[in-house]
Amino acid sequence: MSELPMHVMAGLLLDADGCVLLAQRPPGKHLAGLWEFPGGKREADEAPWPALVRELREELGIAVESGQPLIRVPWRYGERELLLDAWCIRHWHGTPASLEGQALQWREPAAIDPQLLTPADRPILQALRLPGEYWITPVDLKLSEIEHCYLRLCRAIESEGVRLLQLRMPTWPTVTVRELAARLLPQAREHGAQLLLNGDHEGARRLGSGVGVQLKATQLASLARRPLPFDQLVGASCHDVDELSQAARIDADFATLSPVAMTLTHPDAQPIGWDRFRILAEAAALPVYAMGGLNRAQLAQARAANGQGVAGIRGFWAD
């Protein structure tokens, strides 16, 4: 009978300025020198939340009031298998202090270099940084109305609070989509939004920070590593457990999993449903957006099913 994974609790302490607390692994420990979110191992007789409260009291000397689950990351270091269970914490008593000799620092999530974190903590950082909604450009954007398209997308970023936007225009010339992304980039940076090009990682590389790529399933299968540096998002379009595993192997920042429900664009595709989505998302080692036949009102349902949130096209745009 195989051993159960080690269940490790992680607390993301967020202060009033939105900074999160990091702890450095001390010399002599596995992955010494890398940074992680504080916490520790759950004992066999403990429930997850009490275990996290105890660990943060012992490690930092604080009394935690409440927390919200963020993501559970299954991970393997060689023969060592663990489940990293991360919670966001905004209310506690006391001042966090290093009681076990580790260095501590407060950092804005957007300013953290994922490569300075332990590999298992990187998906947690992305789950913290990513929004709950992933917008994909509407199907009625016409190349002949490019100025209207630009203004419509600017309005989405500036007025509607869109923070993750994929430019998916399959009938447009690649160069035109890149030009549109370049025009939108100043507005996106001003409002803290991220743009992603559909399948065009070379275009994203040329445009630089603030522009990422959404990999198609065929592209994902052919890659041995992520195609962009860590300051540019890499999303992966997935439909099953193998594709989700490949997305994690190449260090993608997140995945979309579809179709959850019936869609007008792919009427012959068999939906996986929420129960199957829950199982696959919980087993994935990266944040997963539910996609396919969904709308913004189903964000809470996606979160309850272990998802990062919802992604969509038709169900997101009001006009």
For the chain, domain boundaries: 6-129, 133-312
pLDDT, one tens digit per residue, over 47-71 is 999 999 999 999 999 999 999 999 9
Q: Is the dihedral of CA 56, 60, 66, 72 positive or negative?
A: negative
**188 vs 1, more confident:** 188
- Comparing 113-122, 159-168, 260-269, 273-282, which segment has the lowest mean pLDDT? 260-269
- 80: exposed, middle or buried (C-beta count within 10 Å: 0-12, 13-18, 19+)? exposed
Over residues 157-170, mean pLDDT: 96
> What residues contact residue 155 under an 8 Å CB cut-off, 6+ apart?
none
Residue in this structure with the two tokens 């016409």, named with its chain if needed: 142
Coil, helix or strand at residue 169: coil
Contact criterion met (CB below 8 Å) for 248 and 281? no
Residue in this structure with the two tokens 């270091």, named with its chain if needed: 77
pLDDT, one tens digit per residue, over 194-209 is 999 999 999 999 999 9
Coil, helix or strand at residue 306: coil
In this prediction, what percent of the chain has a pLDDT beyond 70? 98
User: What is the spatial order of strands in the sheet that 80-93 belongs to?
Assistant: 39-41, 6-13, 80-93, 63-77
Coil, helix or strand at residue 224: coil
Cα–Cα distance measured from residue 95 to residue 117, given in angstroms and rounded to the nearest whole number: 23
Beta bridge partners of 85: 9, 72
- What pLDDT, on the 0 to 100 scale, is given for residue 238? 98
- What pLDDT, on the 0 to 100 scale, is given for residue 268? 77
- What pLDDT, on the 0 to 100 scale, is given for residue 269? 78
- Which tokens hold the place of 290? 């539910």
Asked whether residue 318 carries a pLDDT value surpassing 90, the answer given is no
Cα–Cα distance measured from residue 102 to residue 55, given in angstroms and rounded to the nearest whole number: 14
pLDDT, one tens digit per residue, over 209-255 is 999 999 999 999 999 999 999 999 999 999 999 999 999 999 999 99
Contact criterion met (CB below 8 Å) for 35 and 116? yes
Asked whether residue 12 carries a pLDDT value surpassing 60, the answer given is yes
pLDDT, one tens digit per residue, over 112-155 is 999 999 999 999 999 999 999 999 999 889 999 999 999 999 99
319: pLDDT confidence band, cut at 50, 70 and 90? low
- What pLDDT, on the 0 to 100 scale, is given for residue 139? 84
> What residues contact residue 48 under an 8 Å CB cut-off, 6+ apart?
7, 9, 42, 85
Coil, helix or strand at residue 285: coil
Beta bridge partners of 71: 86
Q: How far is CA 247 from the centre of its chain?
A: 12
For residue 14, the 8-state DSSP code is: B
11: pLDDT confidence band, cut at 50, 70 and 90? very high
For residue 111, the 8-state DSSP code is: G
Whether the pTM exceeds 0.75: the reply is yes
Tell me which of 3.90.79.10, 3.40.50.2300, 3.30.70.2170, 1.10.1040.10 is the CATH number of domain 6-129.
Answer: 3.90.79.10
- What pLDDT, on the 0 to 100 scale, is given for residue 1? 41
**Backbone torsions φ then ψ of 314, nearest 5 degrees:** -60, -40
- What pLDDT, on the 0 to 100 scale, is given for residue 2? 53
As a whole number, the mean pLDDT across the chain is 95
- Which tokens hold the place of 152? 């419509």
CATH code, 133-312: 3.20.20.70
Cα–Cα distance measured from residue 87 to residue 39, given in angstroms and rounded to the nearest whole number: 10
Asked whether residue 75 carries a pLDDT value surpassing 60, the answer given is yes
4: pLDDT confidence band, cut at 50, 70 and 90? confident
pLDDT, one tens digit per residue, over 77-102 is 988 899 999 999 999 999 999 999 89
| DSSP strands (E only) in 4-160 | 6-13, 20-24, 35-36, 39-41, 63-77, 80-93, 104-107, 133-136
